[in-house]
Amino acid sequence: MRMAMAGSLWKSSCSCSYTCSLVRVIGVSRTSSGAAAAILHASSLFPPPSMALKIQRKSSLTKWRWSQQQPQLPEDRNSNAFFFIRSSKYGTNSISTDGGKGYLESTDQELMSQCEMGTFKTSGPGGQHRNKRESAVRLKHLPTGIIAQASEDRSQHMNRASALSRLRTLIALKVRNAVDLDGYSPPRELLQILPKSSSIRTSDIGNQIGPNNPKFVYGMQALLDLLYAVDGSVSEAAKFLGLSTGALSRLILSDDSLRLAVNELRASEDMKPLR
């Protein structure tokens, strides 16, 4: 069942502070509670993500990004998630650069409307007919195929909110935007997560936003975009951010999911992991 929400309907009234620790790209990664998982996997029509990512990692000249197109869902809708990668040359300025940022900037209800929601078994007329405690929620973000689940709460509403917040983290971690390094200037959301020691951070940026703040994901996405553009080199990225290499490393290490994502990238570039 495709969700077609009319107008502005869904909004999370709770703010979920949870850090997603998904970072392994393949298979299931667990959150601290162990109850929720984000699964990313490829359809048989496509190379499994491990392969796709290897391609991505091989060449430092070619950048890849997630397709923004809606994947054609195969017949078998039970076969978990699909996640589609499309290649594109970086550096020709021909790529639109708003992919993942667009998703992240969506309101909760917009994001929700891009998702298919399954409570793991939905059948029949629902409503007053049913009492099944189907509180577990599985959101599939149709444009990217990213899946976020939550089942640790007894309320479906709370699980929807957690799944949505997880989805945002996953989008930030997985969806890359091309960055033009010539004349690069960090977007505001990235400046906001930088420590005050950054020489390009002006006082109007305000206090540093930490990993527990829901806004952290926006900066995290922009930071990963930059790190991908410099092939995982923390010292290169640090220069663009007016930080010492050590200060940027500390920032990366302050959030588990960010650290793991950066180390994945570095491993693919044959660099040592940050610790």
Partner 1 sequence: MKLSLTPKLSTFLKPSLASTPLRRSLCSSSPSPPPPPISLKPQTPLFLRPPIHSATSSDLQQWQDWAKTLASSVGSTFANSDNGPDSTLLLRELNWLVDDAVQQGIENGQRKIRLRVSLEELYLLWKQRIEERKPFQYIVGCEHWRELVLCVQEGVLIPRPETELIVDLVGDVVKGEEGLREGLWADLGTGSGAIAIGIARVLGTGGGRVIATDLSPTAISVAGFNVERYGLQDVVELRKGSWFDPLKDVEGKLAGFVSNPPYIPSDNISGLQAEVGRHEPRVALDGGVDGMDDLLHLCKGAASILKPGGFFAFETNGEKQCKYLVEYMENEARGSFCNLSIIPDFAGIHRFVTGFHK
Q: Which residues contact 257 (CB under 8 A, 6 or more apart)?
A: 19, 20, 21, 22, 23, 169, 173, 220
- Residue closer to partner 1 by CB (options 116, 236) is 116
- Residue closer to partner 1 by CB (options 1, 61) is 1
Stretch that binds partner 1, among 77-85, 151-159, 167-175, 177-185 (CB under 8 A): 151-159
- Residue closer to partner 1 by CB (options 117, 217) is 117
Q: Do β-strands 85-89 and 62-66 pair in parallel, antiparallel, or remain unpaired?
A: antiparallel
Least distance between partner 1 and beta carbon 162 (Å): 12
Element (H, E) at 149: strand 146-150
Q: Which residues contact 112 (CB under 8 A, 6 or more apart)?
A: 3, 5, 10, 139, 160, 164
Q: What whole-number distance in Å separates Cα of residue 171 and Cα of residue 229?
A: 17
- 2 forms part of the interface with partner 1 (CB under 8 A): yes
- 13 forms part of the interface with partner 1 (CB under 8 A): yes
- Residue closer to partner 1 by CB (options 121, 275) is 121
- 10 forms part of the interface with partner 1 (CB under 8 A): yes
- 106 forms part of the interface with partner 1 (CB under 8 A): no
- 94 forms part of the interface with partner 1 (CB under 8 A): no
Task: Show the tokens assigned to 267.
Answer: 């491993």
- 245 forms part of the interface with partner 1 (CB under 8 A): no
Q: Kindly identify the residues of this chain, within the stretch 123-142, that bind partner 1 according to CB under 8 A.
A: 123-135
- Residue closer to partner 1 by CB (options 141, 160) is 160
Enumerate the β-bridge partners of residue 87. Answer: 64
- 82 forms part of the interface with partner 1 (CB under 8 A): no
Quick one: which of 86, 218, 222, 229 has its CA closest to 144?
86
Query: Which one among 65, 160, 174, 266 touches partner 1, defined by CB under 8 A?
Result: 160
**Judged by CB under 8 A, how many residues of this single chain contact partner 1?**
36
Least distance between partner 1 and beta carbon 119 (Å): 7
SS3 197: coil
Q: What whole-number distance in Å separates Cα of residue 137 and Cα of residue 80?
A: 14
Runs of H (alpha helix) within the chain: 49-58, 99-105, 108-113, 156-174, 188-193, 216-229, 234-241, 245-253, 256-268
- Residue closer to partner 1 by CB (options 151, 198) is 151
Task: Show the tokens assigned to 24.
Answer: 């392994």
- Residue closer to partner 1 by CB (options 125, 183) is 125
- 154 forms part of the interface with partner 1 (CB under 8 A): yes
Positions touching partner 1 (CB under 8 A) are 1-11, 13-14, 117, 119, 122-135, 153-158, 160
